[in-house]
Every structure is written in C-alpha cells, then in structure tokens.
Amino acid sequence: MDAPVGMIWAIPDSLATTADLRRGDELWAEATRDGVIVRSDSLRKVYVEATGQCNMQCTMCSRQTWAADSGHMTAACYDQLLSGLPDAPPDRVTLAFGGFGEPTLHPEFLDMVDLARKAQIRVEIITNGTTITAELAQDLASLGVAQVTVSVDGGDAEAYTAMRGTERAPALNAVARLREYARRGPHRMSIGVACVATRQTVGSLPALIATAQRLSLDFVSISNVVPHTREMADEALFTYAGQVSNMSPDTWRPRLTVGRFDLNHVTRPLLDALFRRLPIVPPPALDPGEWYNRCRFARDGVVAVSWDGRVTPCLSLLYTHTEHLGGRDKTVRSFDVGHVERTPLREIWVDPPFRALRERLRAFDMSPCLACGGCFISETNEGDCFGTPFPACSECLWAQGIVLCP
C-alpha cells in the first residue's frame, strides 16, 4: 500500500483489516460527494467457464451469434487456474462457475468445486437448474458453496417457455431443492434467481418475485437482455435508459432530491410521477455515481476465464459476438489478456498493460455512444470518436447498469 511520491496515506491496522487491505496492495482513489474512497486493485473474483457446452438453446443468449468451439475445461487447465490465484486469506477470492455454458454439465464439476473449497476459495454457481437433482443440491450444500443463482426467465410457464423453449418446472424444482438443503446444510448457502426481462416477459415478473418471497429466497436479479439480433432489440426495455446513461445528472432539469420513504399505495402517485419523467433513471434517491459509466469488473477486481483457459477482462469480451444497438449491428470482438496455462493468473492481473486497461476503464473517459445513437466508428469495439484504443467499451451495457451479471 505504498503511497505515490509526495503523498502519505496513514491507514490504521484495524481499518485495513476491516477493508481487507494488505501491505503491498496497489490502491486507487476516487473522489465522491461523500469524500475520497480508497480501494485495493486486487483480484477478488474469477468467472470460470467450466464448460462451453449447454443443454439449452435460449432465444436471448448471445451464443446464438457465434460459431466458436466449445468443450470442457481440462483438469490440467483447472489446476493451473487454481495454482495461479493470488495468495489470500480464506474466502477472499471467489470462483463463480458460469460463463456461457452450463457448469454442471462438466463431468468432473463436483470435483472442481471440491478442489476450490479445499483451497479455501469461495465458490458461487450460476446454473439453469435443469440438472440439479436432490443429490447434487445436497452435495453443493455440504461442500460449502456460498451462493447458487438459478436462471428463471419468467414468472409463469408461458413466459419461461418463450425465452428458453422448455418447461419451467425443472428450474423451480432446482430452486426448491437448493433452498431445502441450504437450510439444513452445515454452511451458509445463499440461493436466488436471475432473469432477463423483455417486453414479452416483463408482465410476469411480479409473479416471479412472489415465488421468491414464498420460497424465502435470498435475492432476485432482473437484467435487461443483450440484444444480439434486431428481433431481440425489439424486445429490449432500455431505449430511454440507454439514451440517458452517459449523461451527467448535473444536466438534468429539474434536479430532484428524494428521501427514503415506504413504497406502498400511499406513495404510489409520487412513484408514478417520478418514473414517468425522463431522464429520472434510476430513481433520484440513488447516487448516480453508483450506476453509470462504471465498469464493475475493473472496479471490483473481476476477470473471466473461458473453458479453454483464455483470460479476459469481462464476460462480454469472452467471445466475439453481435449486439444490435441503436438500429445497427455492432461486432464486439473478444479480447484476451493472458492464458492460465502459460502465465499464473496473479501475474496476468498485475501485468502493466492489463493494469493500464483497468485504470482506463475506471476513468471511463469514452464517447457517449448510447446517448448519441452511435455511428460507423462504433460498428465494432475497436475504437470510438474519442480515440479510445481496443477494446473500446463506449456502448457497454454492463457499465451503464442496464445488463447485470449474476
């Protein structure tokens, strides 16, 4: 935690421990309305694509737009991934098994989880739930998995089938089984559902929230769709939100400040008035700095690793794919920063070019493509009109809080 020349940062040991800061960590600071926030630029989470294969063909999945090879991560590759993680206290680093394949299809999936837990690595799983038997749910709880997210795209059977082309019952059964063993297991296991909202399914989502309440789930995550075709773009729910996402809230007129209050039938007229006015997105009670022009991967210490060992700065750059934005197709090229079988992940993380990329993403001084509608320069992510080098994340839906990662 060495300070730059001319600066002295005195952080009490007790505060450093609470903030999980260690001597030698590289720190970065950010000025906010509440003062200066200091954070550690350390690797904290790795999305691991255990397999590139999936047992579903969902209409909203961007894998529909690419022809990349798919396979299972080899034992050698996974061992190199684990051994290359930075030395850290127990559960400081998280492995999130997900990506664009269904992780439970890997023939050695439970062994991979077991190896991670024996190395005192925190484990999360993102699954479609179709393979979660009672036995597997019990095993995951016994191994000490910290969180399982089940994708349930729709609050009723019709909406789910429209998105995933199959019945909803297996996914809901998986949620119930996981919840049961999470309660009975020896470790705390958070269970939740994630869904992608579209025009076709959004009306059913109150029922999904009610289901989550009935099952006493820990969380519900609702994301916009990544539109990979014109048809999926027509289903998107973020036209206006996308247009204002790059705009500074200081330009809004009138500027509204709203305190915390109950959300009920009494306050409903006020809520309706707020949400009908644009660009009041999100509600003005939220700090605007928490949702726009913020790369969660660069800020929170996250990378992604493909089934074949490639390391990328985020999930969006894992594969070359198409996104349909502003009435045009955009080619998002994949971008690798290393390979776990050639270089330990802890060394990839501190490699100067990757460090420089994270600094650029944290500053996010890029063109407001979503606000202006884009142009021929933004037909790929190779650059933008500000001269941003590849990868240019000017139209990143994740950085605007439009698309969420589980």
Q: Which residues, in sequence order, are CB contacts of 113 under 8 Å at separation 6+?
A: 97, 123, 125, 140, 143, 145
Q: What is the pLDDT of residues 156-195, one digit of tens each?
A: 999 999 999 999 999 999 999 999 999 988 889 999 999 9
Phi, psi (degrees; rounded to nearest 5) at 384: -145, 180
Residue positions counted in the chain: 406
Q: How far apart are alpha carbons 109 and 143 in whole angstroms?
A: 12
Q: What is the pTM of this model?
A: 0.90
CA 116 to chain centroid = 21
> pLDDT per position in the chain (406 positions), as tens?
455 545 566 778 887 777 777 777 888 888 776 778 888 899 999 999 999 999 998 988 887 777 778 899 999 999 999 999 999 888 999 999 998 999 999 999 999 999 999 999 999 999 999 999 999 999 999 999 999 999 999 999 999 999 999 999 999 999 999 999 999 888 899 999 999 999 999 999 999 999 999 999 999 999 999 999 999 999 998 887 777 666 666 666 666 667 777 888 888 888 777 766 654 444 444 444 555 788 999 999 999 999 999 999 999 999 999 999 988 999 999 999 999 999 999 999 999 999 999 999 999 988 888 878 778 888 999 999 999 999 999 999 999 888 987 7
Q: What is the pLDDT of residues 121-155, one digit of tens each?
A: 999 999 999 999 999 999 999 999 999 999 999 99
Question: Nearest-CA neighbor of 397 among 220, 275, 238, 232?
Answer: 238
Residue 380 is classified by DSSP as B
